[in-house]
Chains A and B, each alone.
Chain A
Amino acid sequence: MSPEPQDTQPVDTRRVDAREKVTGAALYATDLHPDQLAHATLATATIGRGRIAELDVSAAAAVPGVLLVLSHLDHLDLQSPGFVMGGGYGVQSLQPLLDDRIAYRGQAIALVVAETLTAATEAANLVRARYETEPFAATLDSPGVERLSQPATIPLPFLADLDVGDAESAYATAALHVDATYDQPAQHQNPMELIGATVSWRGDTLVVHEGTQNAGAIRHGLAQQLGIDAANVEVISPYTGGGFGQKNSLQIHIGPLALAARRLGRPVKLVVSRAQLFHHTSFRPASRHRIRLGADEHGRMVAAIHEVEHQTSRHDLFPLMYTEITSRLYGIRDFRGRQTFARMDTQSPGFMRAPFEHPAAFAFESAVDELAYAAHRDPLEFRLANDTTVDPVSGEPFSSRHLAQCLRRGAKRFGWSARQQRPASMRAEDGSLVGWGVAVGAYPASIVPSAAHLVAGADGRIRVEVDGHEMGQGIRSTIAILVAENLGIGVHDVDIVVGDTRVATQHLTAGSWGTASTLGAVHAALRALREQLGMDTRGPVDVASAVRATGRDQVEARAETLGPGQTEQDAEHARKGLPTLSGPEFPGYSTFSWIAHFVEVRVEPTTCRIRVPRVVSVADCGRVASPVTAASQVRGGIVWGIGASLREAGAVDPRYGGFLNNSLEEYPVPVNADIGTLDVDFIGEPDLRFHPVGVKGLGEVSMVGVAAAVANAVFHATGVRHRRLPIRIEDVLAGTTA
């Protein structure tokens, strides 16, 4: 499937950094323990909103071994980093520890630094605060929530309302209707690697080790916060222990850590506790979706209206981009989208895997299922009948859309033809109710400015220094495979440096643009390298001989690439550590990745426990750049979808604010025994219109639609429709006994 076929042995497609990971040799940011290391901990606020009337750190400071307690009493010389979605760098614009205001429960009120972690932990527990409390709002239904229309608040084109045709009229005159509201709770990314950093100064240079998806934002954000030159900030993040959007910007602890390290003249390490993480950084905002769908008497969908609100903080506006995919899933001519902020007293929410697309697809694909049943049609056949080859919003074709093929192939693998349409009509041998559900997903394909630097050595090795971060998605593998296939060398002859501001600009790696963007830059650099080596544009290269023939020890090549419609201005923006918000603009087409999921659930009739014994998912992500890691990405996305649909919700007590269930015990994520057989396949058609190597995004689309397929399967099993996630035993019990 390579666009440049080679006459070489197939490359080893196993994950290239797996050996380091199975031996414990991979060093994550807080695995470092430099000489003279001091340990930091945080004390946090216990009210929902208000101000600190009195802060007493004397008991904390008196603990033997305590070196420093930083709080607003110290008048820290630190600026706001700005909000990553508001022209800044931070996970939120509010930098704690600067004044006495408490904007949300769990906000940091003091940073304690001590000789040992034990002393720092003891001391943080001795920080005492007296508060003046104020009323607050913590859920979508709380009094005091401020609602703002998105386009009226942020008049940017990509956040505008969607109005295609006249959806209200088309809906009013449709033969069949669905009008339903779906609720998505707040959720927490909970990567296994706790958020944390090891920070030190080397002379005037600040050195930050933190697992991140955005070393560039940390670098430039710290420069802004501390008033220093970005050239004096190094951010190093070779391994990130899972990100899922939570590690996509500058966290609130790094600035204070830098001040502490400077004051002490020692390296300082902080590992934020799991309990504190639920309030320390971003989360998926709660959202509520009203979906209205209309179909004609033949079951052709003619109108869709998607109105959505989601929570954001008082201090930042985390944008809503839910209707971008719901307007494209089907060939619905008349579409209306409305998106509304609901401001309340929490830390700023942010990105969590498939941030908008997962909740949007849960709502929309549940509604489509309801409409299919209203039309007495098989949900698979109903979806196929409403497929489109044209983007109904722009009227232009998709650069590639093999969604119908995903559905057909998935149905065959799943054995969908044996399904009985009537709910609660299928039973397993043990008496469990069996439900089969289907749903589709989409995710916009994107490219951001990227840069790659290749060094070919006389020893035949290729060093790749590149813009990109490794969070487990396998970016090292995709790069190694591309270089190995291109030059006809082994994947282990390729050394890859990622997540390091010392070697390349480090743009945010997120939004499933990492592979397309990074591979585009590496691909361009490979061409330049071949030119430097005097080689043909294709065919195997004896790298060692070719380098020696130049008379040099090594040969270098660089490339900087942009997405379509992006300019040098965007590249400059990226070099400043800011996310690319303009483009890509594709001439005459639009590009999305697509996926179809088929889910079997079994509902045990007495306890109503829901199990998911098998899932079949077929993705159209263009060319599959790295088959092993790609399949793992999709399986991971399915696991996330199962967690989202059956387990995960940040529980809020409106009396106290904050999240009550701030542990992995009370915020259950899927465990091994929750996951059955996951059958993953790819269409594998390169999208060369979109990308020189033919890849689209994969990590996010993998999850999109899974929750709807689960919910649709639960409906099929029980005959009861659940419109609020997660679907728990008590929900099914209530439904079946009602």
Chain B
Amino acid sequence: MAATASTAAGSAHELDLACTVNGEPVRLRVDTRESLLDVLRERLGVTGPKKGCDHGQCGACTVHLDGRRVVSCLTPAVQVTGADVTTVEGVAGPDGELHPLQQAFIDHDALQCGYCTPGQIMSGLACLAEGHAGDDDEVREYMSGNLCRCGAYAGIVAAVRAVAEQGR
């Protein structure tokens, strides 16, 4: 019993999806109800983005869509056709060289259990790119869509600010 066609039970409608994920072209037939997060995690094996709520309330699934941060759990997969999707796996250099923000997270201990960290990194990069890292309070505000239950907020602010200062 493969789920392919729509049925009386009101199930699957499928569409083609074509996008890039971390620079790699992806072509896939997706259920219109599938979120980008579930497609990344369950169909493409890209598990950096995490599921923490599935309701856009925690930010653990944050990815970049054409350079803009989105919560992938609230992004229908079909909607990203033609877009470039970047996850935490696509942040380091090709030889594994860490992005300065990743290094700053390590240096400022901006994480504990690590589960929210991929989302924090993606939001942190966006926060810097948006020009919202001018001072600690601004970083706090613009990083507040990403929950960290371990409470590593002070380190996260310090890490984002450190990279902002480097970029000056």
Q: Does A116 contact B (CB under 8 A)?
A: yes
Within 8 Å by CB of B143, from A59, A664, A672, lies A672
CB atoms of B34 and A118 under 8 A apart: yes
A191: chain B residues at CB < 8 Å are 113, 115, 149
CB atoms of A18 and B109 under 8 A apart: yes
The closest CB in chain A to the CB of B151 belongs to: A639
CB atoms of B109 and A194 under 8 A apart: no
Q: Using a CB-CB cutoff of 8 Å, which residues 2-31 of chain B contact chain A?
A: 2-5, 7, 9-12, 31
CB atoms of A193 and B109 under 8 A apart: no
CB atoms of B153 and A639 under 8 A apart: yes
CB atoms of A18 and B111 under 8 A apart: yes
CB atoms of A637 and B151 under 8 A apart: yes
The closest CB in chain A to the CB of B45 belongs to: A33
B109: chain A residues at CB < 8 Å are 14-15, 18, 628-629, 631-632
A271: chain B residues at CB < 8 Å are 51
Q: Does B72 contact A (CB under 8 A)?
A: no
A728: chain B residues at CB < 8 Å are none
Complex formed: what's the CA distance from A628 to B150 in Å?
Answer: 14
Most chain B CB neighbours (cut-off 10 Å) among A114, A273, A637, A639: A639
With contacts A24-B87, A663-B53, A672-B157 known, is A635 near B152, CB below 8 A? yes
CB atoms of A472 and B51 under 8 A apart: no
With contacts A24-B88, A192-B52 known, is A672 near B146, CB below 8 A? yes
Task: Give a binary string over B88-129; 1 marks a CB under 8 Å from any A CB, 0 the rest.
Answer: 110110000010001001110101111111100100000000
B141: chain A residues at CB < 8 Å are 672-673
CB atoms of A473 and B154 under 8 A apart: no
Q: Does A122 contact B (CB under 8 A)?
A: yes
Q: Does B47 contact A (CB under 8 A)?
A: yes
A27: chain B residues at CB < 8 Å are 47
B144: chain A residues at CB < 8 Å are 671-674
Q: Chain B's nearest CB lies how many Å from the CB of A631? A: 7
- The stretch of A239-247, A337-345, A539-547 in contact with B is A239-247
Complex formed: what's the CA distance from A67 to B3 in Å?
Answer: 11
Q: Using a CB-CB cutoff of 8 Å, which residues 108-134 of chain A contact chain B?
A: 114-119, 122, 126
Within 8 Å by CB of B114, from A116, A239, A273, lies A239
With contacts A18-B105, A18-B109, A191-B115 known, is A672 near B11, CB below 8 A? no
Complex formed: what's the CA distance from A116 to B116 in Å?
Answer: 25
B153: chain A residues at CB < 8 Å are 635, 639, 670-672, 675
Complex formed: what's the CA distance from A126 to B34 in Å?
Answer: 18
Complex formed: what's the CA distance from A14 to B108 in Å?
Answer: 8
CB atoms of A28 and B106 under 8 A apart: no
The closest CB in chain B to the CB of A15 belongs to: B109
B50: chain A residues at CB < 8 Å are 28, 192-193, 241
CB atoms of B113 and A239 under 8 A apart: yes
Within 8 Å by CB of A675, from B33, B60, B118, B154, lies B154
Q: Chain A's nearest CB lies how many Å from the CB of B132? A: 12
Within 8 Å by CB of A672, from B42, B51, B140, lies B140
Q: Does A738 contact B (CB under 8 A)?
A: no
B12: chain A residues at CB < 8 Å are 64-65, 118-119
CB atoms of B112 and A472 under 8 A apart: yes
Most chain A CB neighbours (cut-off 10 Å) among B38, B45, B114, B154: B114
Within 8 Å by CB of B106, from A22, A122, A673, A677, lies A22
B146: chain A residues at CB < 8 Å are 672
A178: chain B residues at CB < 8 Å are none
Size of the B side of the interface (Cβ < 8 Å), in residues, is: 67
Q: Does A197 contact B (CB under 8 A)?
A: no
Q: Using a CB-CB cutoff of 8 Å, which residues 603-645 of chain A contact chain B?
A: 628-629, 631-633, 635-640
Complex formed: what's the CA distance from A192 to B153 in Å?
Answer: 14
CB atoms of B38 and A118 under 8 A apart: yes
Complex formed: what's the CA distance from A474 to B113 in Å?
Answer: 8
Complex formed: what's the CA distance from A485 to B125 in Å?
Answer: 36
Complex formed: what's the CA distance from A228 to B7 in Å?
Answer: 41
Q: Chain B's nearest CB lies how many Å from the CB of A221? A: 23
A-B interface pairs (CB < 8 A), number = 214
Complex formed: what's the CA distance from A631 to B155 in Å?
Answer: 10
A664: chain B residues at CB < 8 Å are 52-53, 55, 57-58, 147
Q: Chain B's nearest CB lies how many Å from the CB of A398? A: 28
With contacts A64-B4, A190-B149, A274-B52 known, is A116 near B117, CB below 8 A? no
Q: Does A31 contact B (CB under 8 A)?
A: yes
CB atoms of A23 and B106 under 8 A apart: no
B102: chain A residues at CB < 8 Å are 22-23
CB atoms of A20 and B157 under 8 A apart: no
Complex formed: what's the CA distance from A67 to B1 in Å?
Answer: 8
Complex formed: what's the CA distance from A561 to B135 in Å?
Answer: 49
Complex formed: what's the CA distance from A215 to B16 in Å?
Answer: 42
CB atoms of B57 and A663 under 8 A apart: yes
Q: Does A177 contact B (CB under 8 A)?
A: no
Q: Chain A's nearest CB lies how many Å from the CB of B3? A: 3
Q: Chain B's nearest CB lies how many Å from the CB of A625? A: 15
CB atoms of A20 and B38 under 8 A apart: no
A28: chain B residues at CB < 8 Å are 47, 50, 115
A665: chain B residues at CB < 8 Å are 55, 57
Complex formed: what's the CA distance from A678 to B42 in Å?
Answer: 39
CB atoms of A118 and B149 under 8 A apart: no
Most chain A CB neighbours (cut-off 10 Å) among B89, B113, B118, B155: B113
The closest CB in chain A to the CB of B5 belongs to: A64
CB atoms of B114 and A675 under 8 A apart: no
With contacts A115-B2, A639-B153, A675-B151 known, is A19 near B106, CB below 8 A? yes
Complex formed: what's the CA distance from A126 to B151 in Å?
Answer: 38
The closest CB in chain A to the CB of B141 belongs to: A673
Q: Does B41 contact A (CB under 8 A)?
A: yes
CB atoms of B111 and A21 under 8 A apart: yes
CB atoms of A669 and B149 under 8 A apart: yes
Complex formed: what's the CA distance from A239 to B48 in Å?
Answer: 14
Most chain B CB neighbours (cut-off 10 Å) among A20, A640, A670, A675: A675
The closest CB in chain B to the CB of A193 belongs to: B115
Q: Does B78 contact A (CB under 8 A)?
A: no
Within 8 Å by CB of A118, from B3, B54, B107, lies B3
CB atoms of B147 and A671 under 8 A apart: yes
Within 8 Å by CB of A636, from B52, B89, B151, lies B151
Q: Using a CB-CB cutoff of 8 Å, which residues 467-492 of chain A contact chain B?
A: 471-474
CB atoms of A15 and B111 under 8 A apart: yes
Q: Does B163 contact A (CB under 8 A)?
A: no
Complex formed: what's the CA distance from A678 to B11 in Å?
Answer: 51
Within 8 Å by CB of B151, from A24, A638, A677, lies A638
CB atoms of A244 and B114 under 8 A apart: no
Complex formed: what's the CA distance from A27 to B151 in Å?
Answer: 21
Q: Chain A's nearest CB lies how many Å from the CB of B92? A: 6
Q: Chain A's nearest CB lies how many Å from the CB of B94? A: 13
Give chain B's interface residues, CB within 8 Å of chain A. Answer: 1-5, 7, 9-12, 31, 33-34, 38, 41-42, 45, 47-48, 50-55, 57-58, 60, 87-89, 91-92, 98, 102, 105-107, 109, 111-118, 121, 137, 139-141, 143-157
Query: Can you report 18 residue pairs joining A to B where beta carbons are below 8 Å apart?
Result: A21-B111, A21-B114, A22-B98, A22-B102, A27-B47, A33-B41, A115-B1, A115-B2, A192-B113, A192-B147, A194-B52, A242-B112, A242-B115, A472-B150, A629-B112, A632-B155, A664-B58, A673-B140
Query: Knowing that A472-B115, A629-B109 are A-B contacts, what are 18 other residue pairs whose CB atoms are under 8 Å apart, sorted by A's residue number?
Result: A14-B107, A18-B111, A19-B106, A22-B105, A24-B118, A64-B3, A118-B33, A119-B12, A192-B116, A274-B55, A474-B112, A632-B152, A635-B152, A635-B154, A636-B112, A639-B151, A671-B145, A675-B154
